[in-house]
Amino acid sequence: MIIKHIFNKLDMRKRLIVAWVLLMIFNIGTEAQKAPQRPALRRIVIDAGHGGSDQGAKGELSTEANIALNISLKLEQMLREQMPEVDIIMTRRDDVYPSLYERCDIANRAKA
C-alpha cells in the first residue's frame, strides 16, 4: 500500500510536469501567432534640407536644394494619396532656409 502511494505521488509529479510543459508550449505557440502591435502613425514631418542661401551641391542644370525640394513635394503628394489619415508636415515648400533649430522645432511641436 505504501509503495502504491509513493508511485502515485511520482505519477502525479510527472503528470504535473508534463501538463506544465504542454501549457508552456501552447502558450508560446499562441504568443508567436499574435502580430506585434505598433502605435498608429499619426504624422510625418518631411524636411527637404538646404534651401535659401544654402543651395548644397550645384550642377549644370540644378542645385541640390531644388532637387531635394521637388522630391519632398512629390513624396508629400504620394503620402497624402496613400495615407490620408496621416498628417503630413513640411519644413519648407519653397526656396527658403529654415535654420536647423527651426526644423527641429517644427518636428517637436508636431510631436512627430
Distance CA 28, CA 104 (A): 42
Q: Which of 48, 100, 112 lies closest to 56, judged by CA?
A: 48
**Using CB atoms within 10 A of its CB, is residue 23 exposed (0-12), middle (13-18) or buried (19+)?**
exposed
* pTM as predicted: 0.63
Distances from the Cα of 65 to the Cα of 35, 50, 74, 75, 107, angstroms: 41, 5, 14, 15, 20
In this predicted structure, what is the pLDDT of residue 105?
A: 96
pLDDT score, position 47: 94
Per-block mean pLDDT, blocks of 10 residues, the chain (112 long)? 54 72 69 64 92 89 92 94 94 93 95 88
Q: What is the structure's pLDDT at 2?
A: 52
- What is the pLDDT, as a whole number, of residue 8? 58
